[in-house]
Amino acid sequence: MTWLWLELVAEVPSRAVATVPVSRVDDGSAAFLAFWSKDLDRPGRALRVDARLADGGSPATWVSWCRADAEQSYAFDDGAVGGALRQSLSRPWPEARSTLLVDWSRIAGAIAIAASVEGIADDPFARIFPRQLLRVDAGMLGFIDAPTGPGITRYGSGNPWPWDRYAGQVT
């Protein structure tokens, strides 16, 4: 399992391993999704995300960015989070989805990307966290396949769901 730090920022930051230009749907302002190596100390308010999102190649042009205000977060085991995970498995899976973690036990958001606005219109995590809709150029963000299901538990503390196996496990 590999994860990266991710944050929505106004300017291109230093030391990022990837920076993806986006625009906010509500006011058209420009921003960047910045990815940093997990080997760094937490850059600012960045959150842990499944690293496959940074691989690029998906046709997604819409981003559902659900992010807690300030330093708010929930326990990953909170019932509201479990409910959002179940709903995510119940409905059509977008091009990619990842929870966004503060550390090994806390969640402060989630990201989903899709090729059409319908794909991310009803994001279960938008009921937990404030949401911004973003636009991104196709090919800039990567696929994360739907997990087999019905599992909602993480494989190793600190790893963002939906990564679906213990590192190094026989496959």
Q: Which residues bind another protein (CB under 8 A)?
A: 86, 89-93, 145-146, 148-153, 155, 164-166, 169-171
Q: Cβ closer to another protein: 127 or 165?
A: 165
Min dist CB 80 to another protein, Å, is 16
- DSSP secondary structure of 48-61: EEEGGGGG------
Q: Is 87 helix (H, G, I), strand (E, B) or coil?
A: helix
CB 89 within 8 A of CB 151: no
Min dist CB 171 to another protein, Å, is 6
Cα distance between residue 112 and residue 8, in whole Å: 14
Q: Cβ closer to another protein: 21 or 158?
A: 158
CB 67 within 8 A of CB 129: yes
Min dist CB 85 to another protein, Å, is 8
Q: Which of 29, 106, 37, 44 is nearest to 72 (CA)?
A: 106
Min dist CB 21 to another protein, Å, is 28
CB 149 within 8 A of CB 72: no
Q: Cβ closer to another protein: 14 or 171?
A: 171
Q: Cβ closer to another protein: 29 or 90?
A: 90
